[in-house]
Amino acid sequence: EFDGKRFQNVAKEGFTLTESEESKARFEELKTEYEPLLKWLNDVALKDKIAKAQLSERLANSPCALVASMFGWTGNMERLALANAHQKTDDPQRHYYLNQKKTLEINPRHPLMRELLRRVEVDTDDLVAKDMAVLMFNTATLRSGFQLPETADFADSIERMMRQTLGVSLDEKPEQEVFVDDEPAGEAGAGADEEEESIDADGEHDEL
């Protein structure tokens, strides 16, 4: 503490702000409103990726953020551990912290989260909503400073989003490259004939 104020790590869960009773009541209303989305994120869309999903009191402009548990490693700590060349690769403690699931905090005031809530309330099997949830999780992982283990899947999701945005079919394949011979077949044949005639002429000359 300092001057009666308790220090808090903004990169970990449990961060709270001192607010008025009115603000606290409004936040409780938002919790109730977003309960379907939080449950869907926990049980369906991100059940294998996060420890839990909850509303955030810290976010202003970002749709979501990934935060470590109270006793977990932050993104900076993970990078330091991975960059330490003298760290034992088979250290069980290191393995435990690096594979620890994080908490996803969502911003209830962000338009993307409001649209995601609307889609989930209409259809919990909405494929677009699932893709967007995973994409938001991946971007939150990078933005929060953590390592992204599934980079290939992340790249695939970005390509799908670009195709949808540009109106390109998801099934459309790249055009096949057409290989063209540098030398036309006729010219190649003529060259071969000339070479054969030259060999015959040399043979006749030797006989003479």
* CATH code, 104: 1.20.120.790
| Residue-range definition of the domain harbouring residue 75 | 21-166
Q: Which residues contact 90 (CB under 8 A, 6 or more apart)?
A: none
Whether residue 65 is contained in a domain is answered as yes
Q: What is the CA radius of gyration of the chain?
A: 31
Question: How many independent structural domains does the chain possess?
Answer: 1
Per-residue pLDDT of the chain (208 residues; tens, 9 = 90+): 555 555 444 545 555 655 678 888 998 999 999 999 999 999 999 999 999 999 998 888 999 999 988 787 877 778 877 777 566 667 787 777 778 899 999 999 999 999 999 999 999 999 999 999 999 999 999 998 898 888 899 999 899 989 988 999 999 999 988 887 766 555 555 555 555 555 555 555 554 4
Distance CA 52, CA 70 (A): 13
